[in-house]
A = this chain, B = another copy of it.
Amino acid sequence: MTATTEKYDVIVVGAGFAGLKAARELKAAGKKFLLVEARDRVGGRSKPGEIAGHTVDFGGQWVGPQQKLLLAEAAEMGVETYAQYADGKNILDVDGSIRKYSGDIPKLSLFSLLELGLLEKRWTRECAQLPDGAPWLSDKAEQWDAQTLETWILTHVKTSDARTFARVVSRAVFCAEPSQLSYLFFLEYLKQGQGLECLTGVKDGAQQDKFIGGAWQIPSRMAADIEEHLLLEAPVHYVAQSESGVTVVTEKGTFEAERLIMAVPPALAGRIQYNQPLPARRDGLTQRMPMGSVIKIHIAYERPFWREAGLSGMATSNNRAFNVVFDQTAPGVDIGILVGFIDSVHAVELSSYSEEQRRAGAIADLVHYFGDAAANPIAYAENDWTADEWSRGCYVGTMAPGTLTNYGKALRRPCGRIHWAGTETATEWMGYFEGALQSGVRAAREVMERNT
Contact = CB atoms under 8 A, between A and B. Distances in A.
Interface of A: 142, 145-148, 150-151, 154, 176-180, 235, 237, 267, 270-271, 273, 277, 279-281, 283-284, 287-291, 293, 345, 347-349, 351-352, 384, 386-389, 392-393, 400-403, 405-407
7 contacts: A146-B148, A146-B151, A280-B351, A280-B384, A284-B290, A284-B293, A288-B400
Contacts of A384: 280
Contacts of A273: 235, 271
Given A280-B347, A283-B386, A401 B146 contact: no
B402 A148 contact: yes
Given A290-B288, A402-B179, A279 B351 contact: yes
Contacts of A406: 177, 180, 345, 348
Nearest to A238: B237
Contacts of A270: 271
Nearest to A177: B402
Given A147-B147, A280-B352, A287-B291, 13 more contacts: A146-B151, A147-B150, A148-B401, A180-B400, A180-B406, A267-B287, A277-B392, A279-B351, A280-B347, A280-B387, A284-B293, A400-B403, A401-B401
Contacts of A389: 277
Nearest to A291: B287
A155 to B, nearest CB: 9
A404 to B, nearest CB: 10
B287 A179 contact: no
Q: Which has the most chain B C-beta neighbours within 10 Å: A146, A351, A352?
A: A146
A290 B399 CA distance: 12
Contact of A348 (B147, B280, B351): B280
Nearest to A288: B290
Contacts of A237: 237
Nearest to A351: B280
A296 B74 CA distance: 53
Contacts of A146: 148, 150-151, 154, 178-179
A403 B345 CA distance: 10
B148 A284 contact: no
Contact of A392 (B150, B235, B283): B283
Contact of A279 (B288, B289, B352): B352
A347 B406 CA distance: 11
Q: Which has the most chain B C-beta neighbours within 10 Å: A237, A281, A400?
A: A400
Contacts of A280: 293, 347-348, 351-352, 384, 386-387, 393
B348 A284 contact: yes
B281 A352 contact: yes
Contacts of A403: 180, 400
Contacts of A388: 277
Contacts of A151: 146-148, 151
A284 B177 contact: no
A294 to B, nearest CB: 10
A402 B401 contact: no
Contacts of A142: 179
Contacts of A348: 280-281, 284, 406-407
Contacts of A271: 270-271, 273
Contacts of A150: 146-147, 401
Given A237-B237, A288-B290, A401 B351 contact: no
A284 B386 contact: yes
Q: Which has the most chain B C-beta neighbours within 10 Å: A150, A402, A406?
A: A402
Contacts of A281: 348-349, 351-352
